[in-house]
Chains A and B, each alone.
Chain A
Amino acid sequence: MKKKKEVPKASGGYIISNPEIGSSNENVQLLRIVLTKVETKIDFGYQATDFYDDGGWIKINPLTFIRPSGSSKKFILTNAYNIPFGPEVLQMNSTIGWRYFSLAFPPISEEVDLIDLIEEEFGDKNDFNFFRIKLNEKEKKYKIY
C-alpha cells in the first residue's frame, strides 16, 4: 500500500491568496501560493463536471514546471499532494467529485513578480497551464506567522 504523502506545514515565507492570473485553465482553480525557502507550493481546487458520466479523472505530468514569465528558466515539479503523477490517474467516480490538491516546486526568488505554470507547453485546454500569475500584489500577499 502506498504511504499517503503529508502536506508539509508552512513555516516562514509568504502566502498569496487568490492570486490574479493572466490566463488560466478553466477546469481547475488556482487558489493560493505558498512561498517558503523550502518550496513554492501552489494549491488548487478541481470540481468535476457532467462532461463525463463518471466525472472524469485528473493527473499531473511529472514534468510540470513553473518559470518566471518571459524567462526560459524552469523549476520542475518536486512533489504533488492529493493528485497522482501521470500516467496514473485519479478517478472522480461521479459528476459531483472534487479534489483539493497541491503542487510543489523549488523555491523562487522574492524578486520574481510573475510566473507561468506549465503542464504541457503548447498544450490544449485540458492541460493545467496558467500564465502570468502575479506574486507581488500587496493586498493579496501576507507573511506567514
Chain B
Amino acid sequence: MLQSLFDGILVGSILSLGAIGLTLIMHILRFANFSHAELISMGAYFTLTLDAVFTAFSRALASKLPMLSVSISLLLAMLAALLITGIAAAIIDRLVFKRLREQAGPLTMVFASFGIGLIIRNVIGLVYGLKSVHYNNDIAFAIMISSDPLLLVKADQLFILALTLLVMVSLHLFMSRTSVGFALKAISENPVLAQINGINLASMVRLAWLLGGALAAVAGVCYALNNQLSPVMGRDLVLSLFAAAIVGGIGSIYGAALGGLIVGLASSLALLVIPTGYKPAIPFLIILLVLYLRPNGLFGEER
C-alpha cells in the first residue's frame, strides 16, 4: 500500500511534467496533440546521445553523483536536450501545425499529430533500435525505508522527485512573477484581448512549444531513469497525459500538475485490485469517468 502510494506519486510527478506542456498547447492552439508524448521520447533519446558525446570528450564528466546512477554528463546532456527538444517542437509546429492552422480546422491538426507521432516513433526505432536500453547498466539498489508496511526506495527515485519539484516550482515562479509568464497566461485565456494589449501571438505560441518540449524532455529523462528508454515509451504514456490534462481541466497548468499526480496515484493503487495486464486501460477509465461526471475537469472553465 505504502509502496503503491510512493510509486504513484513518482510516476504522477513525471506525468505532471508531460501534461503541463500538453494542456498549454491544447488550450492555446485548441487541439489535442497526440504527438506530444513523442517529445518525451525525443528528450530521453537526445539525452542518451549527448551523454555519450560528453563522456567521450571528458572522462571526468562520467563520474557519478554521490549515491545516484546519474552522472554529471547526464545532467549536462539533459539540459542541452531540453533546449533541443523545445526547439524541435517549435520546428514541427512551424512545418506542419502552423500551416494546417491556417488552411484547416483544429481536428485536422489532431489528425496530423497522429501521423507525426507515428513517424517520430518509428524514426527513433530505426535510429536507436527497437530494443529498450538504459542510461547506464549499473544495478541501482533500493534502500528499505520500512519493512512493514514495505517501502523500497532507490536514490535515483528521490532524485527524480526533487528534480520534478524543482522544475514545477521554477515554472510557477516563471508564470506568476515574470511579464512573459503573464503574457503566456493572457494569451491562453483570451487571445484576442491579449493581442490588443500588444502581446505577440506567434511568439507566445513558439514559447508554449519551447516550454512544452523542454518539460517533456525532463519527463522523458526521469521516466527513462525510473524505467528504461524504448521507442514506444511516448506511446505508452500518451493516454495518461491526456487523462492528467482532462482531470485537471484543459488549460490549467496547476490542474495538469495535480491531474498528473491523481492519474499516477490512481493507476498505481488500481493495480492493488485489478490484474497488471489491464494497466494500460486505467487512464481511459479515468477519462471516461471525468467526462461523464465533470467534463471540465477540476480547474477547467466551460467552453
The answer to whether A and B interact is no
Chain A residues near B (Cβ < 8 Å): none
